[in-house]
Structure 1
Amino acid sequence: MMGEYDKAQLGHTAAMHGHVPAMAGNDDLPWGNACRRTPGYLEVQRATCYGRLGLGVEAVSLWSQVLDVVPETARRDRGVYLARHATAAAGAGEPDQALEIVRTVADIAVETRSACLCRELVTLQRAMLPWQDAPVGQDLAEVLAPVTEGS
């Protein structure tokens, strides 16, 4: 289940990046059964963690797998996952891939007006800062303009 990284490696990587692991044993929380309701829940969490730990290449690969099974009808969830996929691509040094992914995300964000999705797009914009003056960065601003206009 842990793939290439075991728990010790992830813990070490998290500590190096200043992340503190979440406390275990929160079984009383109402969202504790999300793994039974969300297809690919563990892979979604793994891809999210890889991305937040700066493991962009690994996260991009996982997001590709996850998104293959997320139904188009789950627009908001799909939008959040696509935004995280785009952020991982930027983190992997693939700004053109991130831009291609975000073209779909922008439409979903305008349609759903999901606050969670909009936060993910802010994270993406931060990840794309190294390319803000390049054509890909300017294209990103143009693609996200309809999202930010209504905010």
Structure 2
Amino acid sequence: MAQVRTDLGDGHAVIDLCEAALEDSHRLVPKVRIMAMQQQAHGVSLTHDRDAVDRLIDEADGLLAQVDDDLPWGNAYRRTPGYLEVQRATCYGRLGLGVEAVSLWGQALDVVPETARRDRGVYLARHATAAAGAGEPDQALEIARTVADIAVETRSAGTLPRSWRPRP
């Protein structure tokens, strides 16, 4: 539900849902705590609280070494190098911190393998949006062209942000 509320731009609901999930955090496995904290970071970004974004992402990062299961669900942080920095960059873009987001995207994308085409396309789309927000339209356009190529290659319109998709 917190992810849905994030997509709807309802930061306060995201925060409430994540706080409820973390209420007895000592009883939760680290993986679930990480998932709730990173989603709460998205919620606080919607309320324009950069300090809380950084605190939550840093705290989640500190738990990564404690995850000790091989269950396939909730393992995006294992599949995606720099996963939590990707989340931070996404939050920074939402906060309107274009310059900081562009810098983080540059670092994060350096470690995402070329073979992870769809993920790379999603991240590049976010990077392009951040570049536009940072007042770098030429850079944004160059990145967006790469995103479009990836979307065609992978046949994944989901790579494109909703605001970029054609309306019916």
TM range (shorter): 0.5 to 0.7
Residue 64 of structure 1: aligned partner: 106
Q: Give the structure-2-normalised TM-score.
A: 0.56
Q: Deviations over 1:4-50 (max 9, x none)?
A: xxxxxxxxxxxxx9733541437298843322222111110000111
CA distance in 1, matches of 2:75, 2:150: 26
Task: Give the number of equivalent residue pairs.
Answer: 109
Structure 2: which 5+ runs fail to align?
Answer: 1-8, 23-31, 36-71
Structure 1: stretches of 5+ with no match in the other structure: 1-16, 126-146
Normalised to the residue count of structure 1, the TM-score between the two structures is: 0.62
Q: Which residue of 2 aligns with 1:19?
A: 11
Question: How far did 1:87 drift?
Answer: 0.2
- What's the counterpart of residue 110 of structure 1? 152
Give the RMSD, CA atoms, in angstroms: 2.7
> Is 1:88 equivalent to 2:130 in the alignment?
yes
In the alignment, the residues of structure 1 paired with residue 131 and residue 74 of structure 2 have an alpha-carbon distance, to the nearest angstrom, of 29
Output the CA distance in 2 between the equivalents of 1:54 and 1:111. Answer: 30
**Structure 1 ranges of 4+ moved more than 4 A:** 28-31
Aligned sequence identity (%): 75
Instruction: Find the counterpart in structure 1 of residue 115 from structure 2.
Output: 73
| Structure with more contact order per residue of length (Cα contacts < 8 Å, sep ≥ 6) | 1
- In the other structure, the counterpart of 1:141 is none
